[in-house]
């Protein structure tokens, strides 16, 4: 009886990979290639002990601790592997979390909302088969990320990037990804729409980052309430602690068990948190194409606005110390020193504005692409 609930899971795993395989490939390729390229570049950036120690001094700044996590003792900053682990781990972890949120959200509530799961359940498959297939697909994706990234870092042959430490780096990211995959699966049972499930998941990610940032700066105990706080405490390439990985896996399993239970007791298409009822009569503004589009996109626009503001505020908090930091970094001076009439910080701000402009273009593109999704669902015919 119990096994019948998971009947057909294997075939559904193939279906999910056939549906989202290209997206997963692009995500994995981007995450692994960027990480390996950054790791390979660090020995050319931090060429001597002086530049490494300059980085170590900068990590004592509370603003940098809030951004990247707690630093290590000065004597631990001996190789570029330590700097890579400190600088890249948290931001890569956030990217991995985003990948899992989008993938699991798409494979659970979005497919249910679009009617795919209803059609699939008319076939000889179990009640929990689709959720189990999405979960197994997420596990396979994160394991593949952990193995390929860990093996790739080891293959670079950089000092202190031994096999155990490199695999810990990859496993840390994979385990964290599974935590947010589990959170998304849970919110897919609670929220009535895919947009709501995704929004709750991104809010959880943002809260995890803020709790970790506050905890790392003021109270270490608070950081233990954040999955991102566990991740940075692996002290990869320094202490190499595996307990945060095991903790992440344990929490992911617990959350997934709850998700399966909620999925088993609810009806298809229902949710434990009902969407807020709209007004009986639309306002004149809402009846216009622009007003309707703004209403549909408001949550997405607001979330991106808050995220960009937080990122900008984080960079703004460290701008005051950049001049001192750049003073010991000859390669940065050579890269930025194009206008002797401007300070290094002012030139860095211009570079930062270019990067933030590209990031800000993402929600604009997503807003336009939403039109394609509405067209595929035959909603644009009403206009």
Q: Are 166 and 151 in contact (CB under 8 A)?
A: yes
What pLDDT digit, counting tens, does each position of 6-45 carry? 888 999 999 999 999 999 999 999 999 999 999 998 888 7
Tokens of 85: 């682990």
In a shared domain, residues 11 and 122: yes
Given a contact cutoff of 8 angstroms between Cβ atoms, the answer to whether 238 and 75 are in contact is no
User: Are residues 211 and 258 both part of a single domain?
Assistant: yes
Confidence class for position 349, pLDDT limits 50, 70, 90: confident
pLDDT the model gives residue 78:
80
The helix (run of H) or strand (run of E) holding residue 305 is helix 289-327
The whole-chain average pLDDT of the chain stands at 84
Residues 62 and 163 reside in one and the same domain: yes
Overall average pLDDT of the 53-76 stretch: 77
Question: Which pLDDT band holds residue 72 (cuts at 50, 70, 90)?
Answer: confident
According to the model, what pLDDT value does residue 250 have? 97
What average pLDDT does this structure show over 276-287?
Answer: 75
Q: Which of 244, 276, 308 finishes a domain?
A: 276
Model confidence at 97, pLDDT cuts 50, 70, 90, reads very high
Q: Residues 47, 183: one domain? A: yes
Which residues, 6 or more positions from 343, have their beta carbon under 8 angstroms from its beta carbon? Answer: 323
Statement: residue 269 has pLDDT above 90: no
**Is the domain of 211 the same as that of 69?**
yes
Angstrom distance (rounded) from CA 208 to CA 225? 8
How many domains does one find in the chain? 2
The b-or-e profile of 220-249 (16+ CB within 10 A means b, else e) is eebbeebbbbbbbbbbbbbeeeeebbebbb
Same domain, 200 and 327: no
Query: CA-CA distance, 177 to 174, in Å (whole number)?
Result: 5
- Summarize the confidence of residues 271-281 as an average pLDDT: 74
Among 242, 276, 310, which residue terminates a domain? 276
Mean pLDDT to the nearest integer, 41-53? 80
Provide, rounded to the nearest whole percent, the portion of the chain with pLDDT above 90.
Answer: 36
Question: Is the pLDDT higher at 287 or at 235?
Answer: 235
Mean pLDDT of 126-141: 93
Q: Helix axis angle, 129-155 relative to 243-265, nearest 10°?
A: 160
User: Looking at the predicted structure, is the pLDDT value of residue 323 above 90?
Assistant: no
The Cα–Cα gap between 258 and 265 comes to: 11
CB 44 within 8 A of CB 164: no
Do 76 and 154 sit in the same domain of this protein?
yes
Is residue 30 domain-shared with residue 178, that is, in the same domain?
yes
Work out the burial of residue 301: count CB atoms within 10 Å of its CB; fewer than 13 is exposed, 13-18 middle, 19 or more buried.
middle
Residues 252 and 303 in one domain: no
What average pLDDT does range 181-201 have in this prediction?
Answer: 90
Instruction: Tell whether the model's pLDDT for residue 300 goes beyond 90.
Output: no
Residue 381: DSSP 8-state: G
Q: Are residues 317 and 212 in the same domain?
A: no
Structural domain that includes position 68: 3-276
Q: What is the phi/psi pair of residue 191, to 5°?
A: -85, 150
Q: Partners of 273 in the beta sheet?
A: 191
Q: 293, 368 in Cβ contact below 8 A?
A: no
- Around 73, how many Cα atoms within 13 Å sit in the side-chain half-sphere? 4
Identify the domain boundary among 276, 309, 330. Answer: 276
Same domain, 221 and 346: no
The encoded tokens of residue 222 equal: 């608070």
Question: In this predicted structure, what is the pLDDT of residue 309?
Answer: 82
pLDDT at 355: 74
Q: Tell me, what's the pLDDT at 378? A: 72
Say whether pLDDT at 282 is over 60.
Answer: yes
Looking from the CA of 185 toward its CB, the CA atoms found within 13 Å total 31
Q: Look at residue 330 in the predicted model and tell me its pLDDT.
A: 56
Best-predicted range by mean pLDDT (46-60, 138-152, 329-343): 138-152
Q: What pLDDT is attached to residue 229?
A: 92
Please determine, for residue 329, whether its predicted confidence score (pLDDT) is greater than 60. no
β-sheet bridge partners, residue 268: none
Residues 217-242: tens digit of each pLDDT: 888 888 899 999 999 999 899 889 99
Q: What pLDDT is stored for residue 372 in this prediction?
A: 74
The pLDDT of 161-181, averaged and rounded, is 95
Domain check: are 65 and 177 in the same one? yes
């Amino acid at each position: 009886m119990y096994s019948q609930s998971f009947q057909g899971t294997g075939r559904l795993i193939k279906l999910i990979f056939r549906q989202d395989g290209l997206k997963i490939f692009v995500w994995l390729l981007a995450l692994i290639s960027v990480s390996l390229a950054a790791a390979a570049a660090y020995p050319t950036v931090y060429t001597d002990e002086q530049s490494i120690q300059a980085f170590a001094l900068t990590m004592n700044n509370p603003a940098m601790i809030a951004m990247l996590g707690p630093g290590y003792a000065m004597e631990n900053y001996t190789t570029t592997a330590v700097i890579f682990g400190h600088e890249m781990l948290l931001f890569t972890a956030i990217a991995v979390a985003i990948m899992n949120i989008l993938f699991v959200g798409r494979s659970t509530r979005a497919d249910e909302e679009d009617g795919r799961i209803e059609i699939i359940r008319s076939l000889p498959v179990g009640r929990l088969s689709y959720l189990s297939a999405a979960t197994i697909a997420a596990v396979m994706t994160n394991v593949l990320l952990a193995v390929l990234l860990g093996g790739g870092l080891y293959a670079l042959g950089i000092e202190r990037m031994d096999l155990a430490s490199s695999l810990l780096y990859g496993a840390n990211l994979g385990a964290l990804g599974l935590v947010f995959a589990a959170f998304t699966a849970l919110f897919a049972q609670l929220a009535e729409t895919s947009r709501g499930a995704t929004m709750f998941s991104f809010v959880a990610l943002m809260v995890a980052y803020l709790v970790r940032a506050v905890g790392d700066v003021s109270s270490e105990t608070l950081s233990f309430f954040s999955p991102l706080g566990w991740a940075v405490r692996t002290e990869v390439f320094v202490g190499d602690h595996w307990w945060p990985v095991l903790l992440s896996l344990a929490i992911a399993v617990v959350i997934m068990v709850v998700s399966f239970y909620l999925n088993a007791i609810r009806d298809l298409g229902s949710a434990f948190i009902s969407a807020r009822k709209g007004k009986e009569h639309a306002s004149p503004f809402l009846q216009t194409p622009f007003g309707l589009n703004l209403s549909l996109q408001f949550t997405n626009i607001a979330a991106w606005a808050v995220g960009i503001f937080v990122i900008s505020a984080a960079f703004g908090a460290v701008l005051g110390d950049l001049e001192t930091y750049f003073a010991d970094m000859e390669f940065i001076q050579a890269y930025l020193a194009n206008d002797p009439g401007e300070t290094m910080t002012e030139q860095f701000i211009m570079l930062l504005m270019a990067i933030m402009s590209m990031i800000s273009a993402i929600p604009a593109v997503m807003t336009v692409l939403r039109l394609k999704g509405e067209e595929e669902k035959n909603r644009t015919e009403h206009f």
